[in-house]
Structure 1
Amino acid sequence: MRYCLALDLNNDPMLIAEYEQWHRDVWPEIRSSIRDAGITDMEIYRLEDRLFMIMETSADFSGERKAAMDAANPVVQKWEELMWKYQSPIPGGQPGEKWRLMKRIFSLNQSI
């Protein structure tokens, strides 16, 4: 299954450069937590201060299960707290919500 999500960054070139640096050397525990949740591939793209994430997951992936796993993992919590320095919630989300799930509106090969 594929999920696409969006998030904004604080519009500060120095902070954006730092954020990209963190993502060039993601902690091994973070990589493991992503894989352990059933995410088989993940890519993040940036356009100015907007981020776009594509996640490929196993059939049994659950966002709720991933959130529970993250909440119980102190290393993930430390990473998430660190990332808030750089991130800015997209308007319209719930309080504390970071990445927001995007709605697919077009597919070349499938009808929606």
Structure 2
Amino acid sequence: MVRRIAQIVHLKPSSIEAYRRCHAAVWPEVLQQIQDCNITDYSIFFDNDRTIFATFKWVGNDWESDMKRMSENPKVREWWAMTDGMQESPISGALSSAEGPGWWKVLEEVFHMD
């Protein structure tokens, strides 16, 4: 099963360079956990205004289980705390990447061509 995911979040203008720097050297533990949770072809784009757009493929069999394992990893949670501080969520009531209704807004796919 392949599931394509697209998400957005807003970047604080004061955090643009810090966000670029940390993503130029993503922690190995975070990269490994992403792979272990069946995420492939992961990219993040910035529109040079304030929106960050991410896209990836999930190729697993149990989304909930994979996302639970992701959120239980201490290094991932540390990474999320760092990057959440650079962002503003478009989700009403969002608390953080680790808590609440979600941090990144998932987008509806309206067209795809292989």
| Structure 2 match to 1:10 | 12
Contact 1:4/1:102 (CA < 8 Å) preserved in 2?
A: yes
Alignment of 1:47-66 (within 5 A): 47=47, 48-60=49-61, 62=63, 64-66=64-66
Aligned-pair CA distance for 1:11: 2.4
Aligned twin of 1:29: 29
Q: For residue 49 of structure 1, what is the amino acid of its counterpart? A: R
CA contact (8 A) 1:3 1:54 kept: yes
Matched residue pairs, number? 105
Match of 2:11, as an amino acid? L
Q: Deviations over 1:50-100 (max 9, x none)?
A: 0111101214251x223311332111111111112201001x444222111
TM-score (structure 2 length as normaliser): 0.82
CA distance in 2, matches of 1:100, 1:56: 16
Match of 2:67 in 1: 67
1:103 aligns with 2:108: yes
Q: Find the structure with the greater CA-based Rg.
A: 1
Structure 1 vs Structure 2: percent identity of aligned residues?
Answer: 23
Give how far 1:32 is off: 0.4
SS in structure 1 at match of 2:61: coil
Q: Gaps (5+ residues) in structure 1?
A: none
Question: Which letter does structure 1 place at the counterpart of 2:50?
Answer: D
Q: Does the CA-based 8 Å contact 1:71-1:77 persist in structure 2?
A: yes
- For 1:30 and 1:52, locate their aligned partners in 2 and report how far apart those are by CA, in whole Å: 19
Match of 1:46 in 2: 46
C-alpha displacement of 1:105: 2.0
After TM superposition, give the deviation of residue 104 of structure 1 in Å.
Answer: 1.3
Q: Output the aligned Cα RMSD.
A: 1.8
- Normalised to the residue count of structure 1, the TM-score between the two structures is 0.83
